[in-house]
Amino acid sequence: MMQQLWKRMYRYKMVYLMLLPVLAYFIVFSVYPLVLGIRNSFMSSRMIGDSEFIGIQNYIDVFNNPVYTQAFSNTVIVGAGTFIVQFLFGLFLALGINEIRNKAGKSMIQSITYLPYMLSWSIVGGLWIKILAPTGMLNGLLNLFNSSRTMVAFMAEPKYARMIMILTGAWKSAGYYTLLFLAAIVSIDQSIYEAAAIDGASRVNQMRSITVPNLVPTMKVIVVLGTMGLLRNFDQIFIMRNSVIDDKIRNLLYLIYNDGIQKFNTGMATAAAALVLIATFVISYIVRKVIKYDQNY
Amino acid sequence: MKGKKHQFKNTMSRPWRIMNYIFLVIVFMTMFLPLWNVLVMSTSTALDAGASGIKIWWKSFSLEGYEFIFRNMKIATPLKNSIIVSVSGTAAQVLLSALAGYVLIQNDMPFKKSITSFIMLTMMIPGDLTLISIYQLNKQLGFLNSYTGLIINGLVSGFSILLMRNYFLSVPYSLAESARIDGSSELKIFYKIYLPLSGPGLATITFLEFVGKWNSVMIPATITTDPNYFTLPLVLRNLVTDSAAISGAPLAKDNAIMAAIVITTIPLLLVYVFAQRFLTSGMTLGATKE
C-alpha cells in the first residue's frame, strides 16, 4: 500500500517539482507572517531587547483605546456607505446601459465607468483632492450658480470628510459592479422578455419583474465580496487623509500601519489586526446567513 | 414565423428612454470630466492650472508641468522602478501561477486535494492584515529597500492559480494522456499543449496582476523608506499630500502634479486597450458562485 503510494508519487516527481516554488512562497510569505502575527499579538512591544509574553493585554489595550474604537466606527460607516452607494449606482447604471441599442455608445460608457476602477488610489485620490481644493473644479462649478459664494476647502472640512470618502469610493468602483451586473443581465434568457412583451408588459415593468429578480444571485455574490473587503480599505485613507479630517475617517488598517510600522508599537497593532480578521469572519458569517448565501436557489 | 409585420420593438417608452439618456449622460460627465480635467491641467501653465474655475479647456497650452516633474522632481527614477517591479513581477507570477495551476489538474496525483485546499486556505489569509509581520519578515530577509522585496511580496496569489487551473480544465485531458504515452515529459506537455491553448487565461491574469502591481500602495509604503526605491504611487502620494488643501506652499505646482498623474495612468490605459476583450470573462470569473 505504502509502496504503491510512493510509486504514484514518484511518477509525479516532475509535477511536484513544478509546485515547489509556490508552496515555499506560501509558507514563507503567508503562513509564517500569520503565525508570527498571532505570536506578536501576545507579546509586549520593544524596540530594543526581547519582548515578553503578556497574555491578552494588547487586546485589552485595543478595546480601551478610544482611537481604535473611533477608527472602528469610521471604518464601518465609510465602508458600509461606500458599499451601498456603489451597489445602487452600479445596479442602476447596468440597467440603464442595457437599454442602449447603440453599440458604440454602450461600450463607450461602459469603458469610462470601468476606467477609474483600474486606476491606483494615488491617482484617484490625487485628482479628487485637486477637484475639491479651493481652486478646484467643484468650487468652480458651484460658482456658476452663485458667484458671490466663498470658496470652500472641502478636504479641510470634517463635516464633509466621510461623504467625500464614500462618494469618491463609489466613483472609483461602481464600474466594476456595473460590469458584474451587466454580465449577469446578458445571460438572462431573452425569451422571457419576449413572452412578457407579447403579454403587454412594458419595458420598465419587465426590468422590475424579470431583470432585477434574476440578478439576485449576482447581488448576493457582490454583497459577500463587499463584506469581505468592508474593514480593509487602506489605500484610499492612506492617500486622502489629512490631519484636519483624521478623526472622521482614520480607519483600522491605516491605524494599524501607523502604529505598527511608523511607531513600532507592534504588539497592539497586531492585536488590532487579529481583531479585524476575526470581525471580518464574524460579519461575513452573519451576512451569509442573513442573505441565505449558502442555500440553493 | 409570420413575416415581419408584427415584429415590434421591445424597448422603453419615450419618457423613460429620455430619462435614461439624461441619467447616462450625467453619469458619463461625472466619470469623464474629472479625468479630462487632469489632462487639461497637466498641459496648462502653472498659473492657469492653479487658477480657480472649471478647468476643462485650455487657456494656454504648455508642457512645463511635464518638464518640471522630470527635471526637478526626478520622476524618471520611480517610473523606472515601477516598470521594473511590475513587469518582472507580472512575468514571474504568470509563470508560477500557470505551473501551479497545471499541477492542480493532474487527475490521480497523490495529495492533489490537500494541496488545493491549502492554496484556497492561503486566500483566506489577508495580506493586509499580516502587514506588520510582513514588514518584520522582509527586515529579517534583508528585503527592505530593494527590488527583490518589491517584486517578491505578492508574487503568488491563490486567485491566479485557481484561475489558471480553471482554464486548464477546459483543455481535453486526453491530449495530455496521449502525449504522455508517447513519452513526452511533463514540462513538455505543459508548454507544448497547455500553455498554447490557454491564451485568454494567460492574458487575463497578466492584465489583472499588472494592474494590481502597478497600483500597489501598501507593500511599497511598508517596505521602502529610501526614495531611490519608491514606486510611482508612493511619489504621487507624497506630491498630493504635501500640497493638500490645508498645508502651506506646495512643493510642486498643480500642473506638475497632474502631469505625474497622467504619467502614472498611461501604462494602465495601454494594457487596458490590449486586454479589454478578455476583461469581462476574467473579471467575472473571480466573482462567480460555485
pLDDT digits (tens, 9 = 90+) for A216-265: 989 998 998 888 888 888 999 999 998 889 999 999 999 999 988 888 88
Q: Mutation target for B interface from A118, A145, A193: give the one with most B CBs within 10 A.
A: A118
pLDDT digits (tens, 9 = 90+) for B50-93: 888 888 888 888 899 999 989 888 899 999 999 999 999 999 99
Q: Is the same domain home to B52 and B107?
A: no
**The pLDDT of residue A125 is above 90:** yes
Q: Is the same domain home to B183 and B44?
A: no
Q: Is the same domain home to B16 and B133?
A: no
**The pLDDT of residue B263 is above 80:** yes
Q: What is the ipTM of this complex?
A: 0.87
Q: Which of B16, B37, B69 is the last residue of a domain?
A: B69
**The pLDDT of residue B4 is above 80:** no
pLDDT digits (tens, 9 = 90+) for B105-146: 887 788 888 888 888 888 877 777 788 889 989 999 999 999
Q: Is the same domain home to B241 and B223?
A: yes
How high is the pLDDT of residue B245? 44
How high is the pLDDT of residue B242? 63
**The pLDDT of residue B249 is above 70:** no
A24 in any annotated domain: no
How high is the pLDDT of residue A296? 54
Arithmetic mean of pLDDT over chain B: 85
B290 in any annotated domain: no
Arithmetic mean of pLDDT over chain A: 89
CATH code, domain carrying B243: 1.10.3720.10
**The pLDDT of residue B182 is above 90:** no
Q: Is the same domain home to B117 and B238?
A: yes
pLDDT digits (tens, 9 = 90+) for B38-47: 999 999 988 8
How high is the pLDDT of residue B5? 43
B256 in any annotated domain: yes
**The pLDDT of residue A297 is above 60:** no
What total number of domains does chain A contain?
Answer: 1
Q: Is the same domain home to B196 and B174?
A: yes
What total number of domains does chain B contain?
Answer: 2
Q: Which of B12, B47, B69 is the last residue of a domain?
A: B69
Query: Could you give the CA distance from residue A17 to residue A22 in angstroms, rounded to a whole number?
Result: 10
**The pLDDT of residue B251 is above 80:** no
Query: Could you give the CA distance from residue A102 to residue B30 in angstroms, rounded to a whole number?
Result: 21
**The pLDDT of residue A166 is above 90:** yes
Range with lowest mean pLDDT among A94-103, A267-276, B170-179, B253-262 = B170-179
Q: Is the same domain home to B48 and B182?
A: no
**The pLDDT of residue A1 is above 50:** yes
**Percent of chain B whose predicted confidence (pLDDT) is above 90:** 40
Residue B265 forms contact with A (CB below 8 Å): yes
A44 in any annotated domain: no
A156 in any annotated domain: yes
A8 in any annotated domain: no
pLDDT bin (cut points 50, 70, 90) of residue B200 is confident
**Residues of the domain holding A75:** 60-290
B180 in any annotated domain: yes
B268 in any annotated domain: yes
pTM of this structure? 0.88
Average pLDDT over residues B224-247: 80
Cβ-nearest to A26 among B8, B122, B132: B122
How high is the pLDDT of residue B279? 62
Grid cell, residue A50, equals 526581547
Name which residue leads in pLDDT, B84 or A56: B84
Q: Is the same domain home to B86 and B50?
A: no
How high is the pLDDT of residue B9? 66
Q: Is the same domain home to B81 and B44?
A: no
State the amino acid at position A104 in one-letter form: A
Query: Could you give the CA distance from residue A269 to residue A49 in angstroms, rounded to a whole number?
Result: 19
Query: Could you give the CA distance from residue B7 to residue B30 in angstroms, rounded to a whole number?
Result: 37
**Residues of the domain holding B264:** 76-285
How high is the pLDDT of residue A263? 84
Q: Is the same domain home to B62 and B141?
A: no
Q: What is the DSSP string of chain A?
A: -HHHHHHHHHHTHHHHHHHHHHHHHHIIIIIHHHHHHHHHTTB---SSS---B-TTHHHHHHHH-HHHHHHHHHHHHHHHHHHHHHHHHHHHHHHHHHT---HHHHHHHHHHHHGGGGS-HHHHHHHHHHHTSTTSHHHHHHHHH-TTSPP--GGG-HHHHHHHHHHHHHHHHHHHHHHHHHHHHHTS-HHHHHHHHHTT--HHHHIIIIIHHHTHHHHHHHHHHHHHHTT---HHHHHH--TTTHHHH--HHHHHHIIIIIS--HHHHHHHHHHHHHHHHHHHHHHHHHTTTTS--
Chain B positions touching A102 (Cβ under 8 A) are none
Q: Which of B25, B45, B69 is the last residue of a domain?
A: B69
Chain B positions touching A22 (Cβ under 8 A) are 96, 99-100, 119, 156, 161
Interface of A with B in 29-68 (CB under 8 A): 29-34, 36-37, 40
Query: Cβ contact (<8 Å) for A19 and B53?
Result: no
Q: Is the same domain home to B12 and B150?
A: no
B45 in any annotated domain: yes
Q: Mutation target for B interface from A12, A20, A30, A244: give the one with most B CBs within 10 A.
A: A30
CATH code, domain carrying A254: 1.10.3720.10
A264 in any annotated domain: yes
